[in-house]
Structures are given as C-alpha cells and as structure tokens.
Amino acid sequence: MAGRAAIYCRISEDPRSTEKGVARQRDDAERLAAIRGWEVVRVFIDNDVSALGAKHRRDYEAMLGAAVNGEFDYIVAYGLSRLWRNRKERAHAIEVLSKARVGIALVKGSDIDLTSAAGRMYAGVLGEFDTAESEIKGERIARAAKQRAEEGRANGACAYGWRRIYERDAAGNVLGWRDVEDPQSADVVRSIVADLLAGRSMNSIVSRLNDASIPTPQQKGAWRSSLVRKLALRKMNIAVRTHRGQDFSAAWPPIIERDDHDRVTALLTAPGRATTKGGARRHLLSFGIGRCGKCGSFLRVANRGGPNILYICDTNSGCVGRRMTWVDELVTSVVCARLTQPDARDLFAHDDSASVEARARLEAIRARLDGAADTFADGAIDAQQLARITAKLKPELLSAEAEVAQTIAGLDVTLISQITTQDAREVWDNLVVTQRIAVLQALGVRVTLLPARGGPGFKPESVRITWEVPEATDSNRL
C-alpha cells in the first residue's frame, strides 16, 4: 500500500561520532520502506543519545511535531527500543501518534497500529520490556560502581596526581590494576595547595603554571582558576573516594596532608570569601580591612589619573579620600616595625582548643563510618544496615566538617615564620598583594580613614590602624 514514511534512527553511545550505527539503521529502514512501497519523506537521527534518561532528543521531538502536522503516515525504525525506553515518553508518544493516525513499522519486529486499542496495548507491553532491560542494566552498572567505591578503587581513568600500574598474566591479559603516586603531577597539586595556604591568589597560581608551561591534566589548553580550585578541593587528594555523597577510604595513596586539605577547603569555601570581578584588582585594604571613618563603609580604589590612585569610600558619597601609595606605605611600615619585635609570633597565636575538639569529633565520625564499611565488607551487616548507619552519620559528618572549617586559621605557618623576623620589611616587599592581605587578616588589622582637616598633603594622624591580639593590651593600636 502506498504511503509516506519517516525514518527514525538512534544509538545511545557513539563517543567518537562515527555515526556508523545510525547509518546501518537507516539502510535497513530504507530497504523496508522500499519493500512496502512507501515514499521516505524525512529522516530523523539522534546519534549518541540515550532514550532512557531525560536528555533532550532534538530529532525525536521534531518527528512528533511533523507527525502532528500530517507530514507522513508511518514511522520506520530498526526496533521499538530505538523509539522509547522511557515510560513517560512512551505513553506521551503513543497518545500523540494515535491521534495523528501514524503507524509504526519495525525492521526487527511487527507493525504496530496505534489507532487501535490492541495496537496501543501491544506497543506499551513491548516497550515495558525494553524499559525493564535498560533499568536492569542500569542497576548492574550502579551496583558495580558502588562496589568499586566500597573497595576504594577509582571509577574510570586514573586521576591527575597518580599513575596506573596494570597487573597482567603471562599472556598479557589484564588481571587488575592499582594507582600509585605520580611524583611530577602530584607535586603540581601540592604546589597549588601550598600557594593557596601561603595566601597567593588564584590568578597568580594560574599565571605561574602557564608561565612554566606545565601541562594541564587534559594535556591541552591553558590552566584556569576553576581547574586550580577543583584540584585543590578534591577529597581524593587525601585518599578519600566519594560515591553518591558517601565517602570511602581510597585504595590509592594520599598526596596532600589531611590538615592542609582541611585548611585549603576552609579557605576556598568560606562564605565570606570574595572573588575578583570585572577585571578589578585587589588592593591592600580589600575584604573589609579598610573602612571609612565617617560612615563605616568599605573602601575601594579610584584612579584619578597619574599617581592619583585613591582610596575612597565605597558609597561614592565623598566621605574620605587618600592617596593609595601614602596609606599603603604607612600601613606597611607600622606593621613591619611591629613584626620585628621579639613577641611578634605571639600576635598570630589563636586559642586552638576549639579546633582540637572539632577535629576530634570529626575524626570520631569518620572512624565510625570507616568501621561500618569494614563491617559490611566482612559480611557482618547487610547493605540496608550500612545505608541506615551512613544516613544517620552523614548529617553529623557535614556538621563536624563545617565546624572544623570555622576553627581553622588561614595563614600558613611558613609565612608566619618568614614575616616575624628582623627582615620583615624585605619579606613583605617580596609578597604578592594577596599574601600581604592574608597577614593583615591574620593579625585582625583594621585601617580607618578619618576625615582630614588643614589643607593638602598627607596627614598620618588621619589614618587609624588597629588590630586584634590574643589578649587586650595597650599595644593593639599601632
């Protein structure tokens, strides 16, 4: 019987975009249409797109629209599973095609008349088998992924910082593998964490990596702030394997100390952490260090041309204004003079008892989770019991991690050691601005610009510099 046909081809996975699978489906569908004497008016192809999930199928949607418009009478496909595996999508399409009076012809299968109740039932029953097949396959894949996580094994390719060693039999067949530290890439990750803890900015770290022509993990392209941040925050750095929000002890060796990981995580995820936008540059009085002495607002930088770069009130109200170089030099000289005193290291001292208690609580929760995982591996508890234990401890773990993050001091001990010397000014001059800011933040320095009177020129007394020290003394005004 003569008629108009549309061909639909789909394949779930084609990572190299060869389109060989859909080409074979098209050839078979065209032969079937020719046998039936149908004219092929359109061909719809969705390559490398699964029909089970919610991923958009552009040509499939276009095909349904063309069916509603009456552009063809039949859809020719290799098999029903090429059209549907998703229940919701299948029910919707059966309704649409039945109203449009469009039938289905399958290369591997029978024709389906969707205008009849029996045909719609047949399509639904056959489709349910396809859906079940995909779901069962998905369950097997998910279970295998969970087992890999429980065993601490990586999921997929070897991560940056490690290299994979394969174990083979006499014939060369792979029996297993293990990931060990790769010194070169692991050192890159360690240098990123060290730079962040030393107060260096993301931009300066990115520039250092690119200037040194260090390859990215993908071996192509340039380093970016997002990539640096991602590498620094990975739990795998401390040999923790994460799967669906649950942590497992990893089989690979750590490349970052847990203390450093906790500190850099606290640094990068702090709620008050600011980011540079629109090309703006950080200045010494950033992040609330500098305040207006009239209205209390933060300070920003205004370039009035030449050397006239000023600190001004962020409200644009003209409350205060000082030349940036004058203020920065005053703050630098006063702070560095104080840092040369014998008790300078004490200025960075903090009550660590809260941090110790928070860490102890965190480690106790981690130990309980590890113990539950070991008990499950030994067969003493089943998967449901492990899931209940994990569900109960997970909120406690998140709370403990947040508490630890709040108690961690952000300044690197190496930088403290360097800056609290007789050569404090020389060390200061060699720091980047983000490191200088980190020092001021660790000291609790606040710089307030007061309204000045008495004509032009810089008046040091109009700049008030205060700080927080471990105990309140008369020395907390510089």
Q: Are residues 401 and 432 in the same domain?
A: no
Q: Which contiguous run of DSSP H or E holds residue 311?
A: strand 309-313
Say how far apart CA 443 and CA 467 lie, in whole Å. Answer: 6
Q: Are residues 214 and 240 in the same domain?
A: yes
Q: Are residues 66 and 212 in the same domain?
A: no
- Domain-embedded: residue 174: no
- Domain-embedded: residue 167: no
Q: Are residues 323 and 467 in the same domain?
A: yes
Q: Are residues 137 and 195 in the same domain?
A: no
Total structural domains in the chain?
Answer: 4
Q: In this predicted structure, what is the pLDDT of residue 278?
A: 39
- Domain-embedded: residue 176: no
Q: In this predicted structure, what is the pLDDT of residue 350?
A: 61
CATH number at residue 240: 3.90.1750.20
Q: Which contiguous run of DSSP H or E holds residue 292?
A: strand 290-292
> Where does a domain end: 99, 123, 146?
146
Q: Are residues 218 and 133 in the same domain?
A: no
Question: CA 43, 45, 47 angle in degrees (round to 5)?
Answer: 165
Q: Are residues 124 and 238 in the same domain?
A: no
CATH number at residue 53: 3.40.50.1390
Q: Are residues 363 and 345 in the same domain?
A: no
- Domain-embedded: residue 163: no
Output the tens digit of pLDDT for each of the chain's 478 residues.
Answer: 579 999 999 988 776 777 888 999 999 999 999 999 999 999 999 988 775 655 678 999 999 999 999 999 999 999 988 888 788 889 999 999 999 999 999 999 889 999 999 989 988 888 888 778 777 877 787 777 777 777 777 777 899 999 999 988 888 888 888 899 999 999 999 999 988 888 788 888 999 999 999 999 998 899 999 999 999 999 999 999 888 777 888 889 999 998 888 888 877 876 545 444 434 457 888 877 899 988 888 888 888 766 678 888 887 667 888 889 999 999 999 999 988 888 888 777 665 566 667 777 877 887 888 788 778 777 888 888 888 888 888 778 777 766 665 555 456 677 788 888 768 899 899 888 888 888 888 888 999 999 877 667 788 889 999 986 544 344 444 5
Are the CB atoms for 255 and 186 separated by under 8 Å? yes
Q: Which contiguous run of DSSP H or E holds residue 235?
A: none
Percent of the chain that is helix, strand, coil (3-state, to 5):
50, 15, 35
Q: Are residues 113 and 189 in the same domain?
A: no
Residues in the chain: 478
Say how far apart CA 242 and CA 246 lie, in whole Å. Answer: 5
Q: Are residues 142 and 124 in the same domain?
A: yes
> Where does a domain end: 407, 426, 452?
407
- Domain-embedded: residue 456: yes
Q: Are residues 443 and 360 in the same domain?
A: no
- Domain-embedded: residue 463: yes
**Which residue from 97, 12, 86, 6 is spatially nearest to 46, judged by alpha carbons?**
12
pTM above 0.75, yes or no: no
Q: In this predicted structure, what is the pLDDT of residue 279?
A: 40
Instruction: Tell me the CB-side half-sphere exposure of residue 380, using CA atoms within 13 A.
Output: 6
Q: In this predicted structure, what is the pLDDT of residue 470?
A: 46
**Which residue from 149, 154, 147 is spatially nearest to 178, judged by alpha carbons?**
154
- Domain-embedded: residue 285: no
- Cβ neighbours around 148 below 10 Å, total: 17
Question: CA 89, 91, 93 angle in degrees (round to 5)?
Answer: 70
> Where does a domain end: 97, 126, 146?
146
Q: In this predicted structure, what is the pLDDT of residue 51?
A: 57
* 246 contacts: CB under 8 Å, gap ≥ 6: 149, 390, 394
- Domain-embedded: residue 175: no
- Containing structural domain, residue 76: 3-146
Q: In this predicted structure, what is the pLDDT of residue 475?
A: 43
Q: Are residues 465 and 332 in the same domain?
A: yes
